[in-house]
């Protein structure tokens, strides 16, 4: 990635949580950012543009993205719907799959072919991808991101493009207090606190940096000790 070229990232889920933290970090690092979310959010910055888009409307993605060309794609949009085996609503699983996996695929199909040498893709996964009671459909959709990242990484490696996953444990975002998860409480990591969105954003910034040019097809788990 040449320093003479403007670095431009498209970040989904930009209005809150991890996505908002990624936007803030990249703007601080000098990136130009297009933030994708249904709501406008509160970012006011000369290098920031908002793209209003419901990523669950898959057919709306291509017209909204248009002919944009970016240096990096960060897919941070996500939602959590919980439910144990035999109790979970099938529509909840389908919605999570659509947002986490199918939307990521549509965006990558559009944007990665336009990336040059040094392009980057980072998908926000979850430590839960390893499996967790009451979160089966969510875990499956996040585990799929790892398979996508490794497959895409192998395909685009000859072009100098990397694809990686950042997978945090329970992170202090609005998702923690979502009423839809009332039956499955968030588990505080052994570290004694929830992961902070800025910590996830720092990992994303590393994967987007020149120093990470040789790192691809990997999953970085920010677990706060949960995996020990």
Condensed to tens digits (0 to 9), the pLDDT of residues 120-160 reads 999 999 998 888 888 899 999 999 999 999 999 999 999 99
Domains of the chain: 8-222 (3.40.50.720)
Mean pLDDT of the chain: 91
Pull the structure tokens for residue 209.
Answer: 């940096």
Sheet holding 72-75, edge to edge: 48-52, 32-37, 8-12, 72-75, 120-124, 162-168, 219-222
Residues 6+ apart with CB under 8 A from 154: 217
CA distance 202 to 180: 29
Report pLDDT for 189: 85
Share of the chain above pLDDT 90, in %: 72
CA distance 74 to 113: 15
> pTM of the predicted model, to two decimals?
0.91
Among 31, 48, 138, 152, the active-site one is 138
Neighbours of 222 (CB within 10 A): 19
Report pLDDT for 219: 97
> Average pLDDT of 29-33?
96
Mode of pairing for the β-strands spanning 120-124 and 72-75: parallel
Report pLDDT for 1: 44
Verify whether residue 138 is a known catalytic residue. Answer: yes
CA distance 173 to 162: 27
Name the nearest CA neighbour of 134 among 76, 74, 97, 187: 187
Q: Where is pLDDT greater, at 41 or 166?
A: 166
């Amino acid at each position: 990635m040449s320093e003479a070229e403007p670095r431009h990232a498209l970040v989904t889920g930009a209005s809150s949580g991890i996505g908002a933290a990624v936007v803030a970090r990249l703007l601080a690092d000098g990136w130009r950012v297009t933030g994708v979310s249904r709501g406008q959010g509160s970012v006011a910055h000369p290098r920031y543009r908002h793209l209003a888009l419901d990523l669950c409307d898959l057919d709306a993605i291509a017209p909204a993205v248009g002919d944009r060309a970016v240096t990096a794609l960060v897919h941070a949009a996500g939602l959590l719907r919980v439910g144990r085996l035999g109790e979970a609503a099938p529509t909840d699983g389908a919605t999570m799959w659509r947002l986490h996996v199918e939307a990521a695929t549509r965006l990558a199909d559009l944007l990665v072919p336009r990336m040059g040498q040094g392009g980057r893709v980072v998908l926000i996964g979850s430590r839960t991808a390893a499996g967790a009671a009451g979160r089966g459909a969510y875990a499956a959709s996040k585990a799929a991101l790892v398979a996508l990242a490794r497959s895409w990484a192998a395909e685009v490696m000859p072009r100098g493009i990397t694809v990686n996953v950042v997978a945090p444990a329970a992170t202090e975002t609005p998702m923690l207090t979502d009423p839809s998860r009332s039956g499955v409480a968030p588990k505080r990591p052994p570290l004694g606190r929830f992961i902070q969105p800025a910590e996830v954003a720092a990992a994303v910034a590393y994967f987007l940096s020149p120093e990470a040019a040789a790192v691809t097809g990997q999953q970085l788990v920010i677990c706060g000790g949960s995996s020990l």
